[in-house]
Amino acid sequence: MISVVIPTMWASPVFKELLKSLYDHNLVEEIIIISNDKPKFKTNNKKVKLIQQQVNIGVNPAWNLGVSLSKNEDILILNDDILFDLSFIQKAFDVKNEYAIVSINFDETQKNIVEPSKRPHGLGCAFLINKSNYVTIPEDFTIFFGDDWLFYNCLMSGKKVALLPNIKTNGILSSTSGRFQNNIVIELSKYSKHLDSIYNHKHKFTILVPYHHSVVSVDEVNILLTSLKNQTFKDFEIILIHDGPHPEKDKLDLSGVRYFETKERLNDWGHTLRDIGISISEGQYIIHLNCDNILYENALERLHELSEREVEFGHTYGGHRFDSKDILIFPIILHGQTTDGLHLFRDKNSDKKLILTGYPPQTDFIDCMQLVMKRSKWNYYGGWYDKSFASDGAMYSRFVRENLGAIYESEILGEHR
């Protein structure tokens, strides 16, 4: 049997309809309503347990409370504004022993069960979870990221999540939480700190290098690899991913390198290769390099020191001080390019050089290699999700903006040749 947990502020016009649909379901033994506002209607159904709160405790604490009060081990957590084909309950119950979380696939093009490796959109609207798989959500993020927390805790413990296809819904995804959008920035900072703590980091840094032999020579790749192996700080891994079969991979200096190649060439500027690298990385921070980059031998040591240093300047937002070390940015020397202050102009045959500080962190002012971000944060954003030509500048500006800034290194640590 199943216990249903529904937090509500009684604002949803379909909440009464949702409850009525659950009353007669043979698997639903109890419906626990965590009321975060004054009730707008009464229900006398014997399955309903109304847990009235004096103040709005938020969605995540309501989930925690509902799970703790439930009499059953299997819990169906629902938004109060979702209507769905009730066949989902039986289908989810049938596969609950195979998956830690079972939810609805809102992508209607999918016809089979999907096992996502990144937190899917709408996961928290309706999902079945066993108490043994429910990891209590930390108290300091109350409205957002609860489903992210449960999802990544499951994945980190080697468990699987299922999205069931062909489940019709009313298509509403968390309308109430939209009233609290200003909380996202505050709660993202708190969530990020908790999330990083559950990762099993085998290294401080992962260095990801996508590559195709038609673009750079084996000698150039080996120069880069040598610059990495000469680092004074040794707690890192190198992941080199070749775009398609490599006819000369035996000439590469792959000692101490995790090497992969795709079955066929993807030819998308290495973006998909970076995404693959993020998914298999084992470092706390990820550094994205190209084969025409080099890091100075003290680069990782300086970045390590930067990540451990107490933050001197922190932003204040909504009364909260931010001192996030999720993003580190360092300056480089950029060869063969010049600028008019607004745009970069490439001239590979020129001896011109620029010092690129990475500020502001946007296209033409920051290079791919300059932003170092925690793996947990990359996973939160869904990996290297933008596959457009200048995707690094577009994504990096978003990351820094939503992180309310970054920690900047003052010393030049590498070159883009």
Q: Which helix (H) or strand (E) holds 396?
A: helix 391-402
| Domain end (from 198, 227, 250) | 198
Helices 146-156 and 59-69: crossing angle in degrees, nearest 10, is 60
Asked if 367 and 356 touch (Cβ cutoff 8 Å), the reply is yes
Q: Count of domains in the chain?
A: 2
Handedness of CA 13, 106, 398, 409 (dihedral sign): positive
- pLDDT for residue 66 is more than 90: yes
Whichever domain contains 324, its CATH number is 3.90.550.10
- pLDDT for residue 174 is more than 70: no
Q: Which of 15-24, 92-101, 256-265, 353-362 has the lowest mean pLDDT?
A: 353-362
Sequence-ordered strand ranges (E) for 178-296 = 203-211, 236-242, 257-261, 283-288, 293-295
Asked if 131 and 67 touch (Cβ cutoff 8 Å), the reply is yes
Report how far residue 199's alpha carbon sits from residue 375's, in angstroms, rounded to the nearest whole number. 9
Whole-number pLDDT of residue 176: 53
- Averaged pLDDT, 84-108: 94
Same structural domain for residues 237 and 338? yes
Same structural domain for residues 180 and 248? no
- pLDDT for residue 170 is more than 80: yes
Report how far residue 4's alpha carbon sits from residue 7's, in angstroms, rounded to the nearest whole number. 10
| Domain end (from 145, 164, 198) | 198
* pLDDT tens per residue across span 177-199: 555 556 777 788 788 888 888 88
Whole-number pLDDT of residue 319: 55
**Residue 99 token pair:** 């998956």
Q: What is the percentage of the chain residues whose pLDDT exceeds 70?
A: 92
Residue reference for tokens 């939480």: 177
- Averaged pLDDT, 152-170: 92
Same structural domain for residues 180 and 239? no
The DSSP output letter for 107 is -
The beta-carbon contacts of 48-55 under 8 Å, at least 24 apart in sequence, are 48/19
- pLDDT for residue 323 is more than 70: no
Same structural domain for residues 355 and 405? yes
- pLDDT for residue 318 is more than 90: no
Same structural domain for residues 191 and 254? no
Asked if 244 and 311 touch (Cβ cutoff 8 Å), the reply is no
Asked if 104 and 164 touch (Cβ cutoff 8 Å), the reply is yes
Compute the mean pLDDT over every residue in the chain, rounded to the nearest whole number: 90
Q: How far is CA 295 from CA 197, 224, 240, 363, in A?
A: 28, 8, 15, 21
- Residues comprising the chain, all counted: 417
Same structural domain for residues 137 and 213? no
Whole-number pLDDT of residue 160: 96
Asked if 278 and 375 touch (Cβ cutoff 8 Å), the reply is yes
Confidence of residue 351 (pLDDT cuts 50, 70, 90): confident
Which domain, by its residues, includes 282? Answer: 203-416
* pTM as predicted: 0.81
Q: Which of 6-20, 23-37, 263-277, 391-405 has the lowest mean pLDDT?
A: 391-405
Same structural domain for residues 248 and 191? no
| Domain end (from 139, 167, 198) | 198
Whole-number pLDDT of residue 105: 92
Question: C-alpha angle with apex 71: 32 to 170, nearest 5 degrees?
Answer: 40
The full DSSP string for 290-303 is -TTEEE-TTHHHHH
Report how far residue 48's alpha carbon sits from residue 42's, in angstroms, rounded to the nearest whole number. 10
Confidence of residue 417 (pLDDT cuts 50, 70, 90): confident
Asked if 408 and 325 touch (Cβ cutoff 8 Å), the reply is no
Asked if 146 and 59 touch (Cβ cutoff 8 Å), the reply is yes
Report how far residue 288's alpha carbon sits from residue 266's, in angstroms, rounded to the nearest whole number. 18
Same structural domain for residues 140 and 209? no
Same structural domain for residues 191 and 241? no
Whole-number pLDDT of residue 405: 84
Dihedral angle of Cα 39, 40, 41, 42, to the nearest 10 degrees: 10
- Averaged pLDDT, 58-87: 96
